[in-house]
Chains A and B, each alone.
Chain A
Amino acid sequence: MSGIKGASVVIVGGGVTGLSAGWWLARDGVDVLVLEKGLVGWEASGRNGGGCSHHHSPLFAEEQRLWPLMDELLGYPTEFRPERIRLAASEQQMALYGRALRNAERQGFQSDVLDLKQVKELVPLAGDSVVGGYHYRFGGHANPHRTLQGYAWAMQDHGGRILQHTTVTGFRGEGGRVIAVETDRGEIGCDNLVLAAGPQTGRLSAMLGQEVPVQSARCEMIVTEPLPLMPLGGVDGCGLYGRQTLRGNLAYGGGPHEWLAMAEEGTPAKPTAPLMLHMGKRLAQLLPKAAHARIIRSWAGVIENTPDGRPVIDRLASQANVVVATLSSVGFGLSPASGRAIRDLLVDGACGFADISTFSLARFSKLEPNWRELQGWQVTAAAEAVAA
């Protein structure tokens, strides 16, 4: 037994969305408890590109407002650095990448279009392998793992609690409300519940009578040894997302994902596939003067997507005191704003700083039941028997 009997708000999932929500709530003096089956920030939240420039999202303006303040607000380093340069390997990529400029401009954020000469001036590791690019005068990048730990520590500084190594096994309801969360370490009472359990969100919400449709997939990234710092580390493109970290490593991802059947509990090993090679090839194209740099790690993360790839932040219709949240594979950068939106839903009844009606669960009310199959999100059949 954990010794903890309950909390005003219990958050299931110690990923970036749950921890940010917990931090926002704790700052307001709300008694909050985060339940995590493993370690905080251990899954996809701690394993991503760290990008913070989501101009398509209703949370964009708040994302942009908050990131430069986060070190100060949390009291811990996030390694946030502003701005992003995105390079294109072809005219077609150049055209497709132009959407960011138009979306951002509409919301009052500027970008520059770069020709090859300007690219080489701004990006010392770049070369003739690209045709041009964009310089976003917004957005940026941060260190996911450090930021996750920052959320957790800052939440604890405000009196919030975290229970790691605690698996949710069920819920106890009464009168259309969840009154307790059942775990492998005993029952924990709650006045309100937030489900922010990443790939597990679908399974857990189904237990509450209203399933959030999600499917899991594996994505991968690579990291090189450190190189001298470029003036602006947030350089990506050529089919990759990522950054040069403040330590100097090149950390990049991109390329095909694998849809997985991972509805069950637990955290299986997440080995990588040889996709490392094809990411490496593109990184050498993006930054040819780094072609000598050695890849020293790769890693895989399992993340969930909704049918349209867009977030759900909404109350369940089936249970009055439950908020469900999935950022659908794009959660890290938006986390300062998504946590605040969840806090607003719980405390104020509605998001006060943005219109998040497009994050509603109701948009899936006419969704085809076999949507996974229709979209081709089938699980790749293992050629070999699944290993023990």
Chain B
Amino acid sequence: MTVPASDPKSVTGKPLAIAESVDVLVIGAGPAGLAAAIGAAARGFRVLLVDENPVPFKTMGDDVPLHFGRGMAASARNRNAMMEAVVASEPRIAEAFEAGVDLRLGTACWGLYANGPALGWMPGLVAGLANEDSSILVQAQHVILACGRRDMGLGFPGWEKPGVIGATAALNLATRYDAFGPRKVVILGSTTEALTTALALREAGVTIAAIVEQAAEPIGDADLLAKLSVGGTEILASHVVREATGRDGVEAALIATLDEEGRPVGEERAIACDGIVLAVGATPVVDLIDAAGGKVAFQAERSGYAPVLDASQRTSLAHVYAVGDCAGIWAAKTRDRAIAEAEAARAVAALGADIAGVQAAAPPAPGYDISAYRLAWVRASVVEARAEFHVCQCEEVTAREILEVRPPRYLDWQNERRNDRSLSALLGEGPPNPDQVKRLTRAGMGPCQGRRCREQVAALLALGAAQPLSAIPLAGYRAPVRPMALAMTTLVPEAPEQAEHWDTWFGMHAQWRPFWEVPARYTVAGNDASGPVASE
């Protein structure tokens, strides 16, 4: 019996242009990624380690991949200097080279592709990599994600001004690039992560004017707090930033005290500074794993949405591991890189052993309720703000517009009475879904890919629905997880057989036959599918 040919318009038989194949691809050259790459090389695997640092100056200007808030010093434009600085900032980079790791800096991973219930076309694990002038597909037997952390954005009037910066971006600029612009900063948040950032910035020569904390007491490590205090940093609990003032950038943070209900009261005070560092919530980078269809869940002890892991750091995607901050952030791990390196060692030991392991042991429970803490920040700073501002800077959407599910301004339907839909009317009985709100209001749909607003939008929905953060689904990530110019896509070749059969839609002759020519009965044998076809 002959097997009929597969549908020529389908992906079947259309190979992808895989430029390189490696045993192990490690994404991110921080402590965990370096340990994983060096360890895998020691086991004899061919290892490719990529890291997007140094990020091109223009990309940083777009707040990709972190909220750089235009806090880069002018030296960040010097690509060679940045490359040298990144190499010099981390002794294990040289060790990785010596261990035979193929290490490529300035190379971002914009997509990870793995077969699953709705995708069977991949020849194995495939990753898309790009630097400033090339874009390729790489196949890997194993992928170890070591993508690090990012920060929850927190808005207030003036937060779009240059100088309002995410803590992780500030830390990278100061400690990896030696190119941090601001000289005197106010830090929002007092978690151990925030205090660690403050001390690292101080070490890099930045004056830490104040730690501003909405909670009644600072919540991070007391020793770290004491170090800052001794160094002259004001510790301001029960405070919030009311506004960032300044002409072309931040010149001062206007702060006010909070009453017992978390509402700003009393006189405002200006703290002169040229930077405001957002350190209220570090969160694992889960863009690649989520876009690839891997399981991600809200895990407070891992600081938010994090991959679901087994004890060997395996994700739900076969042969994909997560290590370091992208696998979960907690205070002890922030203070001691050996914990991240131990995760890398566990992943390396598991390479090639395909037995699904036991579930990972839970990290120590955080010393505070991260959901309540982050919601309190958003309530005090965003909901209680004295003036409207754009929570989503790209699409210019305010908190009120998000909570009222307003159509975007370009439609000019703002005053239409019938459009006055509350969040609860939209939701019905289900939990609020940020993706749904995103599509209706456009919050999070801009070129920064929701990096600055997604956690705030989730928090607003949680507040609006009186639910904890864990009840709010993750707004989905989509490839490319780094914006990619159309011109760059042309650098990856297309299989000739795919180009030959490319069609607008399914390329079915019968689908587009005008209704006056459709036969009364349809059979495959009687269907004329000869000749060229173009779907409409």
Contact = CB atoms under 8 A, between A and B. Distances in A.
Contact of A276 (B292, B480, B505): B480
A141 to B, nearest CB: 13
Interface of A: 2, 39, 42, 46, 53-58, 75-77, 79, 92-93, 96-97, 99-100, 103, 106, 145-146, 149, 153, 156-157, 162-165, 217-219, 224-226, 236, 239-241, 246-247, 254-260, 262, 268-284, 290-300, 302, 305, 307-310, 328-330, 355, 358, 363-368, 371, 373-388
B515 A58 contact: yes
Interface in B436-489: 436, 439-440, 442, 445-447, 449, 478-480, 483-489
Contacts of A162: 428
Contact of A260 (B120, B294, B503, B505): B120
A309 B508 contact: yes
A271 B535 CA distance: 24
Interface string B405-431: 001101101000011010001101110
A215 to B, nearest CB: 10
A290 B118 contact: no
Given A272-B113, A310-B511, A363-B521, 20 more contacts: A76-B418, A76-B419, A145-B439, A164-B430, A239-B503, A254-B505, A255-B498, A257-B10, A258-B11, A260-B120, A274-B128, A275-B11, A276-B479, A278-B502, A281-B486, A294-B485, A305-B506, A358-B518, A374-B524, A380-B12
A236 B536 CA distance: 10
A225 B446 contact: yes
B122 interface: yes
22 contacts: A54-B536, A77-B413, A93-B534, A164-B429, A164-B430, A225-B447, A241-B505, A255-B503, A257-B10, A269-B116, A277-B494, A290-B486, A295-B485, A298-B478, A299-B478, A302-B118, A310-B511, A329-B506, A371-B524, A374-B524, A382-B115, A388-B316
A364 to B, nearest CB: 6
Given A271-B116, A380-B11, A380-B121, A55 B536 contact: yes
A291 B113 CA distance: 25
A209 B224 CA distance: 70
A199 to B, nearest CB: 11
A293 B129 CA distance: 18
Contacts of B83: none
Interface in B106-138: 111, 113-126, 128, 135, 137
Contacts of B356: 388
A284 B489 contact: yes
Nearest to A157: B418
A147 to B, nearest CB: 11
Contact of B7 (A75, A375, A381): A375
Contacts of B123: 383
Given A240-B504, A268-B116, A281-B489, A39 B429 contact: no
A240 to B, nearest CB: 6
Contacts of A269: 116-118, 293-294
A46 B435 CA distance: 12
B532 interface: yes
Contact of B485 (A106, A255, A293): A293
A384 B5 CA distance: 23
A56 to B, nearest CB: 5
B113 A273 contact: yes
B486 A293 contact: yes
B355 interface: no
Given A271-B292, A294-B483, A358-B518, A383 B122 contact: yes
B379 interface: no
Nearest to A218: B118
B318 interface: yes
Contacts of B494: 277-278, 281
Contacts of A281: 486, 489-490, 494
A46 B316 CA distance: 27
A136 B134 CA distance: 39
B514 interface: yes
B317 to A, nearest CB: 5
Contacts of A260: 117-118, 120
A384 B523 contact: no
Q: Which 7 A-B pairs have the closest CB atoms?
A: A309-B511, A280-B489, A269-B293, A96-B534, A294-B483, A308-B510, A268-B117
Contact of B16 (A156, A274, A295, A307): A274
A254 B502 contact: yes
Given A76-B418, A383-B123, A376 B8 contact: yes
A307 B508 CA distance: 9
A295 B10 contact: no
Contact of A271 (B118, B483, B536): B118
A291 B487 CA distance: 5
Contacts of B124: 383-384
A308 B111 CA distance: 35
B534 A97 contact: yes
Nearest to A281: B490
A375 B122 CA distance: 22
A149 B405 CA distance: 11
A184 B494 CA distance: 45
Contacts of A365: 521
Contact of B484 (A262, A295, A330, A367): A295
Contacts of A384: 114-115, 122, 124-125, 318-319
